Amino acid sequence: MSSCRVTWWRAGIPPDPGDPVSENRFVHMYRDYHDVEDMKMESYAGRTTLDKDGLKHGNISLKITNVRLSDQGRYRCLIPELWSASVIKLVVVPNSVQTPTTETFHSRTLQTQDPENEMTVSVVVFCVTLILGGGVCGYFFKLKRERCKNLQDYDVAPNKPPPV
């Protein structure tokens, strides 16, 4: 997962007319094992991080420090290599001791499977295929033996009509 590109941006935020490339700026971008700082929106500079160790385990959580009221809203995350995306809503409670919360607004499979689970699934699929393949082969072998036996019976008694 740490080799994947992870992009977080504000959903529904119009570009800044004073910044011609603002529509291409992100809240946070991770690419080629590094954070991409030059593509970050200025208001998030120095305030966002991804847990690099967490990325190895499929954790793509974005941490925003020094949260402001203006940070409230929808955030979209995209992992192009996995064809996965999610939209979350950050709720900021003003003048409160509570920690800001997030609500999942819309998501499509963002968790990567544990490699150990993939191996287990592969072994189970292989075993089931092997058992089914053996059963089908056994059925055809039995069918062939019965046909051979019927043909032998026909050779012994030529007056019998051939089996249909």
Position 65 confidence tier, pLDDT thresholds 50, 70, 90: very high
Which stretch, 20-34, 60-74, 84-98, 131-145, has highest mean pLDDT? 60-74
Q: Is 122 left (phi over 0), alpha (psi -120 to 50) or beta?
A: alpha
Say yes or no to pLDDT of 33 above 80: yes
pTM of the model: 0.53
Q: Which two tokens stand for residue 127?
A: 């075993």
Distance CA 106, CA 114 (A): 23
Position 64 confidence tier, pLDDT thresholds 50, 70, 90: very high
For CA atoms 30, 11, 90, 21, the dihedral sign is positive
